[in-house]
Amino acid sequence: MPAQDPNELSPQELVLHLKEAYGYTWKEMGERLGRSEKMVRKVAAGQSRGESYRQALTDLFNHGEVTHVPPRRRDKEGHIVPVRAKAGAQQRTVVPEDTGGTFTELPKRGRHTSTVTDLAEGGRQYHVEMPKTARAKGRKAAVEDLRQRLVTISRSQARQDKRIKLQAVYQVDGIGRVMDIGSKSGYHASDILNDVKKDYGGDMTAWLAAQSRERYTNLDVAVSPIVSVTMTVFTATRSKAERKQRDAAGTRRRRRR
């Protein structure tokens, strides 16, 4: 790649430059960016400013791979703007899947590691890495590690409820795709533990895969194994008494598969 600053190039110039440098077809470049080749052509022709693609194009320019997925366009209310449906579809427009999530580099050889970080106000963050192979001893150890962490978190709720925000990294084509679960307000720790025990045989990675399958339809969890999990634990703002009252009334929890 020529010694040139990508920040000095427009998205249109970046597209044309990358296409020539790497020999991409329009379809291949669209696949790299997670968008249709038609949209990439529009940026190349100057028919679209393409600013939402700038970070991803800069990733390609600097590293040869995309680490920041271009965000979907949203309206004033924050809803994803519908796009034209594919030819032959029953409806003229569809709401596209949120491509949320970034990409990260993976270690050359995965193994089971586990770390704990103390956070402010009694919060904690647990990070567990594991091999990608289902039968690997390290992966089995990591699954048990996650289960034990969940049990410990649930038992720490004597005075105040704990909630958990999760981040799972899936191996996709040799790189890690980062997916957030419960990023808004987290999940009640006991809810996760109960679901994992009852529906997934104690395997938290299976529960995470099911959650990701519901949220990210453009991710094939069947062929993309989880290679790391981060659990950020914090104290719930809702009182334990209020939570128990809503539990008794059956109004608190929407059933998750």
| Stretch 205-229: mean pLDDT | 85
For the chain, what percent of residues have pLDDT higher than 70? 90
| Residue 24 phi, psi dihedral angles, 5° rounding | -65, 145
The pLDDT score that the predictor gives to residue 159 is: 85
Instruction: Catalogue the long-range contacts made by 107-114 (C-beta closer than 8 Å, 24 or more residues apart).
Output: 110/138, 110/227, 111/138, 112/138, 112/139, 112/141, 112/142, 112/145, 114/142, 114/145
pTM: 0.61
Which positions ≥6 away from 205 have C-beta within 8 Å?
130, 142, 143, 146, 168, 226, 229
Which class does domain 6-100 fall in? mainly alpha
| Dihedral sign from CA coordinates of 231, 178, 129, 192 | positive
pLDDT value at 32 more than 50: yes
- CA 252 to chain centroid: 26
The pLDDT score that the predictor gives to residue 10 is: 94
Print burial letters for 147-164: b (CB count within 10 Å at least 16), e (below 16): bebbeebbebbeeebbbb
Higher pLDDT, 247 or 27: 27
The pLDDT score that the predictor gives to residue 102 is: 67
Q: If you average pLDDT over every residue of the chain, what do you get? A: 84
The pLDDT score that the predictor gives to residue 174 is: 77
The pLDDT score that the predictor gives to residue 97 is: 60
Q: Mark residue 79 as left, alpha or beta (left: phi above 0; alpha: psi -120 to 50; beta: remaining).
A: beta
Q: Are 71 and 51 in contact (CB under 8 A)?
A: no
pLDDT value at 254 more than 60: no
Higher pLDDT, 21 or 49: 49
Residue 175, CA distances (Å) to 87, 104, 132, 171, 254 in order: 32, 6, 12, 6, 34
Q: How far apart are CA 98 and CA 151, in angstroms?
A: 32
Q: How far apart are CA 122 and CA 236, in angstroms?
A: 11
pLDDT value at 84 more than 80: no
Higher pLDDT, 3 or 229: 229
Q: In the chain, what are the domain boundaries?
A: 6-100, 104-249
- CA 201 to chain centroid: 23
Q: How far apart are CA 231 and CA 125, in angstroms?
A: 6
Q: How far apart are CA 81 and CA 137, in angstroms?
A: 45
pLDDT value at 1 more than 70: no
The pLDDT score that the predictor gives to residue 99 is: 57
Interval 97-154: pLDDT, tens: 655 556 677 776 678 999 989 887 788 999 999 999 988 999 999 999 999 999 999 9
